[in-house]
Chains A and B, each alone.
Chain A
Amino acid sequence: MTTQPIIEARQLNKTYSIDDRRIQVLQDVSLGIRAGEFAVIQGSSGSGKSTLLSLLSGLDRPDSGTVRIQGQDITKLSEDDLAPLRNRTFGFVFQSFHLVPSLSALENIMFPAELNHNPNAADEAGKLLERVGLAARGPNMPHQLSGGEQQRVAICRALINRPAIIFADEPTGNLDSRSGQAILELLLEFQREYHTTLLMVTHNPAIAQSADSRFQLADGRLAPPVAN
């Protein structure tokens, strides 16, 4: 590959300490992901997948090592410097949805666009909702939606600012297999349509098979990447 990776991690280390014990969760992890790629992180429970994802997306800071996004080292950035990146470059989809509980479905989707001073936020959010088949659920508050519906709203919210990268941490983990499948298809559909980079943590081998590249985590270490 000749193109510069859009995500590039070097020698990432992360330890947690509880009382006096230190647990090394990630050890010398390095990886690169190209723009427009669909990449998957796999590994057994507790192997450090979520931790890695949060380091790559700037939600957490590594103990050492660097993360470059589009060539820029984000590990040294302040929270406020990260804000525009999170708003425009990243989109997040989580296992437990994380919708803002005081905002309706429509308002949740609009929110990142409004932060970005997009005057058409409401229209665009409405279109996205329609696209995922929830046009009638716009005014619902999050607790008035089913899990699958909440996740679809979360995906719309992640997409509204057309981010270059979407981070998805087991987006189907809280859903039954049918709605899980639907969510995955939705994500992939958007990824292809918007040429977005999609980095997903998943346990689903079938999905992993269809990924452009796969990363296998075991005890905080990365096995050599497998290209499909």
Chain B
Amino acid sequence: MLPRLILRELDQNRQQTAVLLVCIALSVVGLTALGGFQANVREAMLRDARQLHAADVIVRSSFPFLPAMEDKLRALDARDDVAVTRVWEFYTVVRTVDESASLLSAVKIVASGYPFYGQVQLASGEAFHDVIGPGNIIVEQSLLDRLGLTIGDRIFLGDTALVIRDVVISEPDRPVTVFTLGPRIFVDARDRGRLGLITQGSRVRYKALVRLPAEISPEAVQQDLWTAADAAQESVDTFRSADSRLKRFFDNLLFFLKLVGIFTLLLAGIGIHSVLSALLRTRIKSMAIMKALGAPSPFILRLYLGVVLFVGAAGTVGGILVGLPLQEMLARLLTDLIPAETSFRIAWDAVGESFLIGLLAVSLFAARPLLNLRHFKPSALFRHDSGHLRLFSAEGLTLALTALFFIGLVLWHLEDLRIGAYFIGGILALIGIVFGSCRLLLASLRHLPTRHLMVRQALRGLFRPRNATQPILVTLTASLTILYALFLIESNLDRAFVDAYPEDVPNVFLLDIQRHQTEALSRLVDQPLDFYPVVRAKLMAINGQAIDPKRERQRKSDNLARPFNLTYREHLLNDEEIVRGDALFDDDAGRLQVSVLKRVADIGGIRLGDRLRFKIQGVPLEATVSSIRVRVREGLQPYFYFVFPEETLKAAPQTIFTAMRADPRDMAALQNRIVQTFPNITILDARQTIRQIAGALERFSQVIRFFTLFSTAAGMLLVISSIIATRAARIREAVYYKILGARGRFVFYVFSLENFFLGAASAFGGLALAQLISWVVCTRYFDIPYAPHAAVSLAGLVAGILTVMGVGLSASRAIMRRRPARFLRTHAAE
């Protein structure tokens, strides 16, 4: 008998069953796809961190290693079981031997032994070591294409001609090809001496790679090397600690996706709970009758448990079936953006996780209304309007379980106790605020005196018994808050990254300019140029408090232990404003001064008057903060965290660069003219970089939008289901209005107004909260400037209100044109 009754229940509540199914399926689809995507990205990023760095320990510097470090490295190399090799990387312009074409390229000089882990794959299929050698280079295919060369041709690096021997397909320690400025060229270290001239003028990154046997811990070697390192310019990392900007970018992306995942789950959970409650609410009568006929509570419990489990299993399986192909699709969308050697697989653990979470969430969210069934008295039969039925009273245990489940989930997903705690606190505060303000609003509406009949009916409608206006209002507001917040955060991420590249930004950067070349260069390009001197330095201490490199590396935003570019000038740039202090520098301060960008001031908690100690190529320099600046526009304009007065830094070792805008059609001619006149100057054609970055970010925002869509769908469903839940009560009321002589228009207006109250209250409240949440997340977590996006917000507001009204009205549309008798018969008895 039980299965038959279960099927009957499902059939009689087809609409709600469908909503419940889709709710569960959606959350599972979202989680499966999201989990798979995360697993793939994470695996690609950390797959084999050793391979990504081609070594166990990496020493880096922007300058040749200092003697102390050289000694340590030599001592290490002398051991039998340890190997050390060197890598030099820099950008330079290469030319064809007939001087007809030139191209900015990323040169990587490697010594024997490189790479210790992973492989450099060549088009010929030969081993890297057999091909690379003195006089030979290996290049990326795009270099051949862009310069019109083939294998066997020669090109000029500086004044040295080298022979192209092969084409490189992939290299282990260059994770992503998106953010590069030019094609790769591999050069043998034995040719380094011949390239001497260019390596002096360029900004070279010096690296030493160390390979250790399994029994030596990389961390121990790191500690040892640290003792010899000059913290101002040399850094030592293990493959585990090394952090890249890219990894940071993915960290942020993954965090946002996790956020979306949790929100989706939360929305689906609320949805499941509210649909189930609504379902049970309409079944009160059936349950009462069954109980009155002697059906024991466990029987009724089993009946509804059967309903829930059936729908839960069906939804979960359906969701997984849709989620799997999605994983595949997303993986494909991202293949270009992830390291070339990555292969994608189905993340079965993510599938398993979503399956468990799906079922657990259903059982948990269903538990509360189901357990309350026990207390249910058949006497409900004798009340025509069971206004004070305690079917949905709070049940301490399940409430606590639900909370625990949710908290566990958040911690599990965020993997960070502190942020997890903030997150949970935030959500709890959100629920509290929503709940409190909904109560307040309803209480004040309840006693609102109004003479206008339609307005009064609409307000009364909010308090119609069994209407559950408060839970619906809370649900609506909470889900709209989440939806709006996701959209706002996404819009801000978009704006900060994708839209940061307007049309008129400089598209050419000229680096490594000598001081005496500035005037001649301006004349050559025929436009006035701003020259930015750059002095490389490290920040050592703030107010005597030393910078801790370990702690710095854990920051999400920027790392104060990394080398900085200092500059000197006496004026503000036109995209800057001073927010603390009177001017860039005090005229009569009588000590060394520095102006700090607000962004870095925020990171380091730097305030006006603080003392900052720098080290510039071994030379210490202490200056007092004289002003704090902000940039009023984001974009590709050059900017500097630390600006000094000219006299302070003029004598320091420096390079000079400038940014200009060139007509894209003249770009090639311009590049050739500059290279011929000033061979030491590096030309950076930013057009392609801008296009590449914008393209990559666009793709990421597509992924983000995709996941946001899931949450949106879940949220919409919630809106729909919570309104469908009040359908019966509404139709009944509409029937009464009509019998008493109201026209269709009256019914329409009253319901429109009622739904408008609901929609407007939840949309306005949701938007206000969403603005607050997004502001916190953007400024505190992502460290990007926040804009309230008034147009998007307004559109969302209108869309929210219209959806609530539309769905609400659609539930009562049928009654407007048809004769009331049939509705009277079916809905009278409930």
- B733 interfacial contact with A, CB 8 Å: yes
In the docked arrangement, what's the CA distance between A60 and B461, Å?
26
Q: Write the chain B residue with the least CB distance to A90.
A: B741
In the docked arrangement, what's the CA distance between A143 and B824, Å?
18
- Take A83-B738, A98-B736, A100-B736 as given contacts and tell me if A143 and B384 are in contact as well, using a CB distance cutoff of 8 Å: yes
- A176 interfacial contact with B, CB 8 Å: no
Report yes or no: B824 in contact with A101, Cβ–Cβ below 8 A.
no
Which of A59, A96, A112, A147 is close to B820, meaning CB atoms less than 8 Å apart? Answer: A59
Hey, which chain B residues are within 8 Å of A157, CB to CB? 740
- Take A100-B736, A114-B453 as given contacts and tell me if A79 and B821 are in contact as well, using a CB distance cutoff of 8 Å: no
Hey, which chain A residues are within 8 Å of B742, CB to CB? 83, 87, 115
Which of A80, A111, A141 is close to B387, meaning CB atoms less than 8 Å apart? Answer: A141
Mark out the residues of chain B between 702 and 747 whose CB falls within 8 Å of any chain A CB in the assembled complex.
729, 732-733, 736-746
Mark out the residues of chain A between 56 and 108 whose CB falls within 8 Å of any chain B CB in the assembled complex.
58-61, 79-80, 83-88, 90, 92, 94, 96-103, 107
- B463 interfacial contact with A, CB 8 Å: yes
Hey, which chain A residues are within 8 Å of B453, CB to CB? 114-115
Mark out the residues of chain B between 458 and 494 whose CB falls within 8 Å of any chain A CB in the assembled complex.
460-461, 463-465, 467
In the docked arrangement, what's the CA distance between A84 and B738, Å?
10
Hey, which chain A residues are within 8 Å of B821, CB to CB? 54, 59-60
- B357 interfacial contact with A, CB 8 Å: no
Report yes or no: A101 in contact with B743, Cβ–Cβ below 8 A.
no
Which of A59, A61, A79, A141 is close to B824, meaning CB atoms less than 8 Å apart? Answer: A59
Q: Write the chain B residue with the least CB distance to A84.
A: B741
- A116 interfacial contact with B, CB 8 Å: yes
Hey, which chain B residues are within 8 Å of A103, CB to CB? 460
B287 vs chain A, min Cβ distance (A): 19
Report yes or no: B387 in contact with A143, Cβ–Cβ below 8 A.
yes
In the docked arrangement, what's the CA distance between A78 and B385, Å?
32
Q: Write the chain A residue with the least CB distance to B451.
A: A114
Report yes or no: B744 in contact with A79, Cβ–Cβ below 8 A.
yes
Mark out the residues of chain B between 71 and 111 whose CB falls within 8 Å of any chain A CB in the assembled complex.
none
Q: Write the chain A residue with the least CB distance to B741.
A: A87
- A142 interfacial contact with B, CB 8 Å: yes
In the docked arrangement, what's the CA distance between A90 and B738, Å?
12
Hey, which chain B residues are within 8 Å of A88, CB to CB? 741
Q: Write the chain B residue with the least CB distance to A87.
A: B741
Report yes or no: B740 in contact with A111, Cβ–Cβ below 8 A.
yes
In the docked arrangement, what's the CA distance between A161 and B739, Å?
13
In the docked arrangement, what's the CA distance between A165 and B517, Å?
105
- Total interface residues on A, using CB and 8 Å? 37
Report yes or no: B739 in contact with A101, Cβ–Cβ below 8 A.
no
Hey, which chain A residues are within 8 Å of B740, CB to CB? 86-87, 92, 111-112, 115, 157
- Contact indicator per residue, chain B 379-406, by CB within 8 Å of chain A (1) or not (0): 0000111110000000000000000000
In the docked arrangement, what's the CA distance between A54 and B738, Å?
13
List the one stretch of B600-608, B782-790, B811-819 in contact with chain A.
B811-819
Q: Write the chain A residue with the least CB distance to B388.
A: A143
Hey, which chain A residues are within 8 Å of B383, CB to CB? 143
In the docked arrangement, what's the CA distance between A116 and B742, Å?
9
Report yes or no: B465 in contact with A143, Cβ–Cβ below 8 A.
yes
Mark out the residues of chain B between 788 and 822 whose CB falls within 8 Å of any chain A CB in the assembled complex.
816-822
Report yes or no: B385 in contact with A101, Cβ–Cβ below 8 A.
yes
Q: Write the chain A residue with the least CB distance to B823.
A: A59
In the docked arrangement, what's the CA distance between A161 and B818, Å?
24
- B829 interfacial contact with A, CB 8 Å: yes
Q: Write the chain B residue with the least CB distance to A158.
A: B740
Report yes or no: B743 in contact with A96, Cβ–Cβ below 8 A.
no
Hey, which chain A residues are within 8 Å of B746, CB to CB? 115
In the docked arrangement, what's the CA distance between A115 and B461, Å?
16
Report yes or no: B465 in contact with A86, Cβ–Cβ below 8 A.
no
Q: Write the chain A residue with the least CB distance to B821.
A: A60
Q: Write the chain A residue with the least CB distance to B460.
A: A102
Report yes or no: A59 in contact with B819, Cβ–Cβ below 8 A.
yes
Report yes or no: A116 in contact with B741, Cβ–Cβ below 8 A.
yes
- B68 interfacial contact with A, CB 8 Å: no
A92 vs chain B, min Cβ distance (A): 6
- B828 interfacial contact with A, CB 8 Å: yes
Mark out the residues of chain A between 22 and 68 whose CB falls within 8 Å of any chain B CB in the assembled complex.
54, 58-61
Hey, which chain B residues are within 8 Å of A92, CB to CB? 739-740
Report yes or no: A86 in contact with B744, Cβ–Cβ below 8 A.
no
Mark out the residues of chain A between 109 and 134 whose CB falls within 8 Å of any chain B CB in the assembled complex.
111-112, 114-116
Report yes or no: A142 in contact with B741, Cβ–Cβ below 8 A.
no
In the docked arrangement, what's the CA distance between A99 and B821, Å?
16
Hey, which chain A residues are within 8 Å of B729, CB to CB? 101
Report yes or no: B741 in contact with A101, Cβ–Cβ below 8 A.
no
- Take A98-B824, A101-B465 as given contacts and tell me if A60 and B744 are in contact as well, using a CB distance cutoff of 8 Å: no
Hey, which chain A residues are within 8 Å of B464, CB to CB? 101-102
Q: Write the chain A residue with the least CB distance to B387.
A: A143
- Contact indicator per residue, chain A 157-186, by CB within 8 Å of chain B (1) or not (0): 100010000000000000000000000000
In the docked arrangement, what's the CA distance between A80 and B742, Å?
8
Hey, which chain A residues are within 8 Å of B384, CB to CB? 96-97, 142-143, 147, 150
Hey, which chain B residues are within 8 Å of A116, CB to CB? 741
Hey, which chain B residues are within 8 Å of A96, CB to CB? 384, 828-829
Hey, which chain B residues are within 8 Å of A87, CB to CB? 740-742
Hey, which chain A residues are within 8 Å of B829, CB to CB? 96
Q: Write the chain B residue with the least CB distance to A83.
A: B743
A126 vs chain B, min Cβ distance (A): 17
In the docked arrangement, what's the CA distance between A88 and B743, Å?
13
Hey, which chain B residues are within 8 Å of A161, CB to CB? 741
A149 vs chain B, min Cβ distance (A): 12
In the docked arrangement, what's the CA distance between A31 and B740, Å?
25
Hey, which chain A residues are within 8 Å of B733, CB to CB? 100-102
Hey, which chain A residues are within 8 Å of B738, CB to CB? 79, 83, 86
- Residue among B385, B461, B743, B820 with most chain A CB within 10 A: B743
A61 vs chain B, min Cβ distance (A): 5
Hey, which chain A residues are within 8 Å of B744, CB to CB? 79-80, 83
- Take A59-B821, A101-B464, A102-B460 as given contacts and tell me if A80 and B745 are in contact as well, using a CB distance cutoff of 8 Å: yes
- Residue among B742, B745, B817 with most chain A CB within 10 A: B742
Hey, which chain B residues are within 8 Å of A90, CB to CB? 741
- Residue among A84, A102, A115, A143 with most chain B CB within 10 A: A102
In the docked arrangement, what's the CA distance between A86 and B740, Å?
6
- Contact indicator per residue, chain B 581-620, by CB within 8 Å of chain A (1) or not (0): 0000000000000000000000000000000000000000
In the docked arrangement, what's the CA distance between A216 and B293, Å?
36
Report yes or no: A141 in contact with B465, Cβ–Cβ below 8 A.
yes
In the docked arrangement, what's the CA distance between A59 and B733, Å?
15
Hey, which chain A residues are within 8 Å of B745, CB to CB? 80
In the docked arrangement, what's the CA distance between A79 and B463, Å?
27
Q: Write the chain A residue with the least CB distance to B386.
A: A143
Report yes or no: B739 in contact with A60, Cβ–Cβ below 8 A.
no
- Take A96-B384, A100-B733, A141-B387 as given contacts and tell me if A115 and B741 are in contact as well, using a CB distance cutoff of 8 Å: yes
Hey, which chain B residues are within 8 Å of A107, CB to CB? 460
- Contact indicator per residue, chain B 737-771, by CB within 8 Å of chain A (1) or not (0): 11111111110000000000000000000000000
Hey, which chain B residues are within 8 Å of A141, CB to CB? 385, 387, 465
Hey, which chain A residues are within 8 Å of B736, CB to CB? 98-100
Hey, which chain B residues are within 8 Å of A83, CB to CB? 738, 741-744
A225 vs chain B, min Cβ distance (A): 24
Report yes or no: B739 in contact with A86, Cβ–Cβ below 8 A.
yes
Report yes or no: A143 in contact with B828, Cβ–Cβ below 8 A.
no
In the docked arrangement, what's the CA distance between A142 and B385, Å?
8
Q: Write the chain A residue with the least CB distance to B819.
A: A60
Which of A79, A99, A150 is close to B816, meaning CB atoms less than 8 Å apart? Answer: A79
In the docked arrangement, what's the CA distance between A43 and B453, Å?
41
- Residue among A97, A100, A143, A150 with most chain B CB within 10 A: A100
Hey, which chain B residues are within 8 Å of A84, CB to CB? 741
Q: Can you name 6 A-B pairs with beta carbons within 8 Å?
A: A80-B744, A83-B743, A98-B739, A102-B464, A115-B453, A141-B385
The 3 closest A-B CB pairs, nearest first, are A87-B741, A60-B821, A143-B385
Given A84-B741, A101-B385, A157-B740: 5 more A-B contacts, CB < 8 Å? A61-B819, A79-B818, A83-B741, A88-B741, A103-B460
